[in-house]
Structure 1
């Protein structure tokens, strides 16, 4: 399979998986990869980040028929800044891209699925992103559905959608949120969660980039595509984890499955409410997520 879309690969300190991930992309037919490697936070991490760099160079030397663009940060800039500056740079050159972090193991179907979705919905401004993970649910015979929740454990998007991203979420305030929450038809608990998590993000009490991406979808009434089967396994719940140490671990290491091809497309583009509620239950409204948010509010 030839994949015409570029992959943006964000790495930090996982040398054991870096080469393997790059090889998976190559086998999936990817022809262009942008690699953004963050730098070490201290001397102990420098050994790992140097090994990551060595693995990338080794891949580059043994796969010269693939276009590999690298950016190695000399010092640690953090995941938030690495992703924001990296994607800003990529979308100055590309109209769409597939995005992977070094703790999100993609299946072969992930690349095929995101490629087909990027093609099919490239001009549909209702669709802002494509998720790689799935928690199952009823898709009414279709191969995928639509949700209000973008998820970034292996995903894809277009330049037109990323242009709506605002890391400062300037449009977020109480008045605007009241309007948005009504449109989104959020439950009381979900409304509480998102208002507080976005408030903390805007106050920079949470250093992240992905809650702002969710808000971009909310503010623009955008949808994310979610596959019927899980296509990405998150392996980032170990000692090398950067941002998932307090995430619901029941959603880690969920095996990926194959989709049935050719895909069966939904007859209408509209949110699958049941799927959105499943995503809420597993990712945002789990006991671990709620307790984590309460701790952040108190502190």
Structure 2
């Protein structure tokens, strides 16, 4: 395959998770032909220093890739800032990219799928490519190996420079968007948690690059393509990850079977059964929905008062 996308892995202080992530990647068929860039964030405090130091010592031993480049932050930037800055830096030299964090176990054909998808679709028809797929029902009558939905994935993903560059990280015009109930409903086609998550981001209650990237997809009306069988498993659901509590909801079985020719669906093809199941998977509980409704009304009242 020509022009393989570089792989970018973001790490912090979890040595064993990082080791597993790299070991799984190295077992991928295309690993030895792929360039690997690893971004290591700086320690938050003195207690974290030795953990970060141990991770960086391991990073210097990595083999099994075409090349390995390590980028070390002198200070702690946090996950969102590190990812936005790191991906932007790689895009100074490349036009597409595959990204993982340090708690992801990948299937042996993950890199093959991601590169095939990047070559099959264009940034004008698809926003990003997902490696993880939640445990949702795929109808027996559905014959494609992929499906389209309106939600990006932060657990093993890929995209193009064109889409990254047109993402508005400041989310300009947020208040106008948030006042529009129909626009919020469209944004929530991938789950009713998205609008409130974006609100929390704008209020600095959370620091999420992903929800802002998803808002970019919404503004350009472009979907993310997912595999019907997950090629990524998140080890961070053990409670050790940033923004991730212990949960079995996101547990999946990795697809270990090689597919000689992936049946990619058309970028304009949406299956309402899969879309509905996907949205239900990410929808919040009734209690959380009520809490989020209240927070939404409070913010809207402030907007209209101002």
Counterpart CA distance in 2 for 1:54 and 1:240 is 21
Deviation at 1:14, TM superposition (A): 1.5
Q: TM-score, with normalisation over the residues of structure 1? A: 0.85
- 1:1-299 to structure 2, matched below 5 A, reads 4-28=4-28, 29-30=30-31, 31-59=34-62, 62-63=63-64, 66-121=66-121, 123-134=122-133, 135-138=135-138, 140-175=142-177, 177-178=180-181, 180-181=183-184, 186=189, 190=192, 193-245=193-245, 249-258=247-256, 260-266=259-265, 269-286=268-285, 290=289
Farther off after superposition, 90-99 or 230-239: 230-239
Q: Distance in 2 between matches of 1:23 and 1:210?
A: 25
* C-alpha separation in 2, matches of 1:234 and 1:66: 25
Please state how far the C-alpha of 1:199 moved relative to its aligned partner: 1.9
Q: CA deviation at 1:69?
A: 1.4
Superposition deviation, residue 237 in structure 1:
2.4
More displaced stretch, 251-260 vs 26-35: 251-260
Instruction: Kindly indicate whether the alpha-carbon contact (under 8 Å) linking 2:98 and 2:157 is maintained by their aligned counterparts in 1.
Output: yes
Counterpart Cα distance in 2 of 1:289 and 1:45: 33
RMSD over aligned CA atoms reads 2.9
Q: CA 1:58–1:152 in 2, change beyond 3 Å: closer, same or farther?
A: same
Distance of 2:72 and 2:170 partners within structure 1: 25
When residues 78 and 291 of structure 1 are mapped into structure 2, their CA distance, relative to the original with a 3 A threshold, is: farther
Q: Secondary structure at the match of 1:142?
A: coil
CA displacement, residues 48-68 of structure 1 (integer Å, 9 cap, x when unaligned): 111100100111xx55x6311
Deviation at 1:142, TM superposition (A): 0.4
Q: Size of the alignment, in residue pairs?
A: 289
Distance 1:179 1:169, change over 3 A: same
C-alpha separation between the residues in 2 aligned to 1:133 and 1:73?
28
TM-score by length of 2: 0.83
